[in-house]
Chains A and B, each alone.
Chain A
């Protein structure tokens, strides 16, 4: 069983569209994250949720909106996609806000054309 699963794995879409990426973890972790990996492989945190509560909201455009229906799921919705949004988006989870032992999903490669 995959510990942290993301769908879709690849997403190609046109500028201006709205898209969502879904993430689910079966590790029983309380905290989930979204990270963005750019073309230079740099990983930067975007959001973090602990038990469905938003605890980290980095400087991310308002077009990005995370949603956590329960502590096992964290989805990312992106409105009005721009070329610069092209990247690999990783979902991760960890024990309650401990920061240790992150488990990452395999990523969603978003390409905006």
Chain B
């Protein structure tokens, strides 16, 4: 059972445009929602994360929007640059010491930003 569903699978955006990647989750116990960025030949790296007590978090050009009632969250990349071309993963976990720390990942979105 896929607990975190991510779309689209691939995305092509022009330089300067907005990239939007969406995720939906099923387990209402999840309370930590990170996004990871992975370049070819590298491991995933934490980009930005949100807890469900806020509806939006912004760090530079990257924004997470969170809709608890719909069990959905999304990543927006403003002013997309060719250097943003990578695979993006959303994930979810039950946060905090005493839990297993297990991250459930979405299927990934390959983003290509054209110059």
Contact = CB atoms under 8 A, between A and B. Distances in A.
Interface of A: 4, 31, 33, 40-45, 48, 50, 55-56, 90, 92, 94-107
Interface of B: 32, 34, 36, 38, 41-46, 49, 87, 89, 93-105, 107-108, 110
Contacts of B32: 99-100
B98 A97 contact: yes
A102 B42 contact: no
A35 B43 CA distance: 11
29 contacts: A40-B108, A41-B108, A42-B108, A43-B89, A48-B102, A55-B100, A55-B101, A56-B100, A90-B43, A95-B97, A96-B97, A97-B96, A97-B97, A97-B98, A97-B101, A98-B95, A98-B99, A99-B32, A99-B93, A99-B95, A99-B96, A100-B49, A100-B95, A101-B46, A102-B36, A102-B44, A104-B43, A104-B45, A105-B43
B95 A42 contact: no
Contacts of B101: 31, 33, 48, 50, 55-56, 94, 96-99
A99 B103 contact: yes
The 5 closest A-B pairs by CB, nearest first: A104-B43, A99-B93, A99-B101, A43-B105, A97-B101
Given A101-B49, A102-B44, 6 more contacts: A43-B105, A48-B101, A55-B100, A98-B101, A104-B45, A107-B43
